[in-house]
Amino acid sequence: MANLRLAVAAVVLFVALVSPCAVAQLRTDYYASICPNLETIVRSSVRQSMAQSPISAPAALRLFFHDCAVRGCDASIMIVNSNGDDEWRNTDNQSLKQEGFQTILNAKAAVDSDPQCRYKVSCSDILALAARESVYQSGGPNYQVELGRYDGKVSTRDSVVLPHANFNLDQLNAFFSGLGLSQTDMIALSGGHTIGAADCPFFQYRIGDPSMDPNFAAQLRSTCNSNPNGFAFLDGQTPVSFDNAFFRNLQGGRGLLGSDQVLYTDTRSRNTVNSYAWNQGAFFAEFVTAMTKLGRIGVKTAATGEIRRDCRFPN
């Protein structure tokens, strides 16, 4: 019954977020005459943020998903409301790292420092570009980003519904289908966990699970017992490199989150995990496809959105 309710909610969400007219406005050359140096500016800014903190890349990538999966890709995750009723203060978003937000704010400031670009580029497009840069500058694919989004004007705490670390495959598929994404898309996007980390409360409950490698379990137990506020890398083999090691870890029972390891333990998704583990090129190609589809969700137009001067506050 719980899965049925989730599936129904997913269908409603999908209908609400899909707008063919808004998607049609997206183009990779949208800013060619408006802000011709946009991608160079964002690339340089993200590089500086990553040099200051290795957390910046995974934090910015995760921020993009947490934005698009709620009200669509409209940078509503960035809004700070004076009454405290905003997305980032929802319990499911409390683990988002400040470095991710700061990466976007830094890039926005860099873009607006160019007189030709000032106040002409949306925060949502900067977030999409910063997510790509986080992937590419960590060793992942360099792909074209569709642009032309407007920023949302609303952000509320109760609007946040996100997948949890203990979701099984049916729950994951129900959620992602609500975004118009397939199981393959979901698995490819999960590969974004090849960079980043998770705090002990997100995985401590499953230490010793039969699907977990015993040596890995012992390592995690030591980490969390010595420091309840500790963390572990989502990909302990190459934690700051965007590659396919994440999927090889799943094959060996070294998936940190339950929602990651289930992609291998459930035979319905195992073949895709194996494919990505054996062929990094296949993973990269399908990750790009999934990111492009994710970036089309809930796009705002000039009629429904705006270009924020400050990403934290509606104009």
Q: In this structure, which amino acid lies at residue 279? A: N
User: Alpha-carbon torsion 67, 142, 98, 35, what sign?
Assistant: negative
Cα(242)–Cα(196) distance, rounded to whole angstroms? 10
Active-site position among 62, 66, 193, 254: 66
SS3 content of the chain, % helix, strand, coil (to 5): 55, 5, 40
Phi and psi of 249, rounded to 5°? -60, -40
Q: Tell me the three state secondary structure of residue 27.
A: strand
Burial of 12 (0-12, 13-18, 19+ CB in 10 A): exposed
At 199, phi and psi to the nearest 5?
-75, 155
- Catalytic annotation on 193? no
Tokens 């400031």 belong to residue: 109
**Host H or E run for residue 231:** strand 231-233
Active site residues: 66
